Amino acid sequence: MDSRENTKDIRILAIESSCDETAAAVVENGRRVLSNVVVSQIDEHKLYGGVVPEIASRRHVEAITAVVNKSLSDADMKLSELDALAVTYAPGLIGALLVGVNFAKGLSYASKLPLVPVHHLRSHIAANYITNAQLEPPFLCLVVSGGHSHIVAVEDYTKMKIIGKTRDDAAGEVFDKVARTIGMPYPGGVNLDKKAELGNDAAYPMPHPRVADAPYDFSFSGLKTAALNIIHNTQQRGEEINAEDLSASYRKAVVGCLTENFLKAARDLGYKKLVIAGGVSANTLLRRELERECGERGYELYMPELKYCGDNGAMVGAQAYYEFLEGNIADLSLNAAATRSIEIG
């Protein structure tokens, strides 16, 4: 367990609204989840093939009071029994983030509880502290979500350095785009992953893009275009694409880029403790390949439980505990930000 743990238990109510999930949780000492409520808007965004920001903001406004109340009642806790509030304030959809931030500021003002601002990607990493009670920094983390693909050196709970990142699209984004083109509903990543389990990964040869002179950076847009060209050319010939084979071939290519750079960074920088985080860390092949590769190399590998891979409030509460111990408290001038580096926090 964390050596800096206080003798007094610290309980934090955490709110997350950065994209299309309205979520709240109560977490004790950054590791023990007392409640975790997630209301997903996926069914509505499915109609449009992706997240519609204006709709996301409106649904957050409608859901947030009930979600926060339920997180308190599930934890059997009153506001007066908490030590702090926390909220995701960056990065994400600005209108969606503002709903959580303004709600949390109002609650902080009314309850006099301190408010901890949490960076969304830092909270994805912290999902691992919930699942793996013995995990402590330093470690190397592959953070892969709908909007980001980073290799991050987590030197301490609140001290991080970006080692590599995507030069264009994020891994989740390109999974979703190709899945949509072969007719899978939003969010396509998980559906493509399931289909890929049934396909032949050698059926459609894919390129293996590398970024010149930047061995830890990724570039997925060319890979995405290659897959889309295969799909369109097949359709133009009047032939049917084999969705299972295409999914398997494409997934293998994306996961190959992720694992290659991640393992190279670990070897070059001397990390033997590896962690994955973010929505794409639920990917079956990514988990399987890293388990195998890390097993062969004698590395420790930590992965979040599947229910903590996607956006949720528990991970925000986990990171908030460490930000709180660092004295990272916001005042009522706190604003949301669509973009912000994980290094700044």
Under the binding rule (CB under 6 A), the answer on residue 91 touching ligand KG4 is no
| Closest CB to ligand KG4 among residues 1, 42 | 42
Residues ≥6 apart with Cβ < 8 Å to 105: 115, 332, 334
114 vs 199, which CB is nearer to ligand KG4? 199
Residues 96-125 close enough to bind ligand KG4 by CB under 6 A: 124
From the list ligand KG4, Zn ion, none, pick the one residue 190 interacts with, judged by a Cβ distance below 5 to 8 Å according to partner type. ligand KG4
Q: Which of 146, 199, 313, 345 binds ligand KG4 (CB under 6 A)?
A: 146
User: Which burial class, exposed, middle or buried, applies to 70 when counting CB atoms under 10 A from its CB (0-12, 13-18, 19+)?
Assistant: middle
Instruction: Say if CB 307 and CB 59 are below 8 A apart.
Output: no
Closest approach, Cβ 283 to Zn ion, in A, equals 14
Partner touching 95 among ligand KG4, Zn ion, none, CB below 5 to 8 Å by kind: none
Shortest CA distance to 71 belongs to which of 18, 108, 33? Answer: 33
Q: Count of residues binding ligand KG4 (CB under 6 A)?
A: 20
User: Do residues 325 and 31 touch, judged by C-beta distance below 8 A?
Assistant: no
Among 114, 117, 164, 278, the residue binding ligand KG4 under the rule CB under 6 A is 278
Which of 150, 266, 262, 164 shows the shortest CA–CA distance to 213?
164
Q: Which helix (H) or strand (E) holds 144?
A: strand 139-144
Q: Residue 155 in contact with residue 238, Cβ under 8 Å?
A: no
Q: Does 145 bind Zn ion (CB under 5 A)?
A: yes
Region from 100-108, 229-237, 303-311, 329-337 binding Zn ion, contact rule CB under 5 A:
303-311
Applying CB under 5 A, what is the total number of residues that bind Zn ion? 2
Report the distance separating Cα 256 and Cα 250, nearest Å.
10
Q: How far apart are CA 248 and CA 183, in angstroms?
A: 15
Contacting residues toward ligand KG4, per CB under 6 A? 19, 124, 145-147, 172, 175-176, 187-190, 193, 278-280, 282-283, 310-311
| Site for Zn ion, rule CB under 5 A | 145, 311
